Amino acid sequence: MIALEFKHGYAAGMTSPVQRIRPRRHGDARGWFTETYNRDTFAALGIACTFVQDNHSLSVPAYTLRGLHFQVPPRGQDKLVRCIRGRIFDVAVDIRRGSPTFGHWVGAELSAENGEQLFIPIGFAHGFLTLEPDCEVVYKCSDTYAPAQDGGIAWDGVGIDWPLPLGTRPELSPKDGMQPPLAGFDSPFAYDGRPLLPLA
């Protein structure tokens, strides 16, 4: 499949279900302050979910890949992802049944330096690749972890342009190394009328 890096002919003003969030930093001689989540600000962006769980991961080796993960209904998870140490390449893949962008993906570099976040709604598989050692990632979820609804697809089965050095294989968990391909996946996620668009 393809990365969405081109202009679509969809209606002007249509927002993508996956959104890049750029919180403003207010700095002075002491450092800076930023608001990483505000319910009203996010609602104005069309993000009205309620977050109920925060996760925090440390990946020690560079080029650790976690994903591609999701939870199936009725325990789907919206996610708000940011990197608080190091740099990652964060990815969302459209897995909504009937979507014109099914199998397409978008990705963005998130880092402690740029402070950017990625909002990934229910109906998208999520994963990230660390770009340097000792990366810490935190993300908010709209439902708690439900092992019986846990799902995933293969990290290398949808044509994602992972920024891996030539000849490098990512560090994977045994589980992520055996995820099934997207081809043949019977998606339980319904298309909501909003195609995946390039990240703003």
Counting residues of the chain whose pLDDT is more than 90, the rounded percentage is 91
Element (H, E) at 66: strand 65-71
Residue ranges of domains in the chain, CATH in brackets: 19-24+35-178 (2.60.120.10)
Contact by Cβ (8 Å): 138, 117: no
Cα end-to-end span (Å), the chain: 20
The predicted pLDDT at position 10 comes to 36
Q: Please list the active-site residues.
A: 69, 139
Which residues of the chain have a pLDDT value below 50? 1-12
Q: With 0-12 CB in 10 A as exposed, 13-18 as middle and 19+ as buried, what is 130?
A: buried
Task: Give tens-digit pLDDT for 107-160.
Answer: 999 999 999 999 999 999 999 999 999 999 999 999 999 999 999 999 999 999
Q: Which residues pair with 111 in a beta bridge?
A: 87
